[in-house]
Amino acid sequence: MQRLSLPPVCIGIAVLIGTIGPVSPSWAVSAFVLWVTDGDTVTVVDQNFHLQRVRVYGIDCPESEQAYGFTARLKTAWEVWLRPVTLLPVERDRYNRLVARVQKESRELSAALLAAGLAWVYDQYCDQDICRTWKTLEYRARNQDRGLWIEPDPIPPWKWRRGERSKRGWRWW
């Protein structure tokens, strides 16, 4: 009989997921962030070893090709990459990604990105009570010229995706 062996990285991930512990509320999902695609999209493995892409609820970060897109991705990586998180599912988007609030030690990833000036509150989709608090964080970052708000007229990603791209070109800062 042949024994199956798991690579050490799989064993390490299993141990980390096992140490996440119980979460509250009951519909919350414990997960571990394996990859950061961009500022508002991550790939996680949950406690049942299912991989899934997660769209961070309530915000929209600059696209990778936009100014501050790379910085938003770095901030997200700094906050949650290779760390246990709690997902508070909201819905599935049109790409079948889980849209969820992402928390690390009860701190919201959305709030961290907004406070750093690396995201907009996505008014079209952000309809929970927390969105008002996040709008205040965005307003403060804007008034203090943090992150992308140092630019004279930053283009929101939803406009940029429709083709209203900046003539200034790509910048990472």
pLDDT in tens, 114-169: 999 999 999 999 999 999 999 999 999 999 999 999 999 999 999 999 885 544 45
Q: Where are the beta strands (DSSP E) in 62-173?
A: 84-92, 98-104, 107-108, 120-121
Length of the chain: 173
**What is the per-residue pLDDT for 165?**
52
Distance CA 134, CA 129 (A): 9
φ, ψ for residue 23, nearest 5 deg: -125, 165
Q: Give the H or E element holding residue 134.
A: helix 130-143
Q: What is the pLDDT of residue 166?
A: 47
For the annotated catalytic residues, the residue numbers are 55, 63, 97
Task: Of 136, 55, 129, give the one whose Cα is nearest residue 99.
Answer: 55
Residues paired with 100 in a beta bridge: 56, 89
Q: Tally Cβ neighbours within 10 Å of residue 34.
A: 14
pTM, entire model: 0.81
Contact predicate 143/170, CB 8 Å: no
Structure confidence by residue, pLDDT tens digits, 34-72: 999 999 999 999 989 999 999 999 999 999 999 999 999
Secondary structure of residue 53 in the 3-state scheme: strand
Structure tokens at 50: 């299912």
| Cβ atoms < 10 Å from Cβ of 105 | 8
Domains of the chain: 8-161 (2.40.50.90)
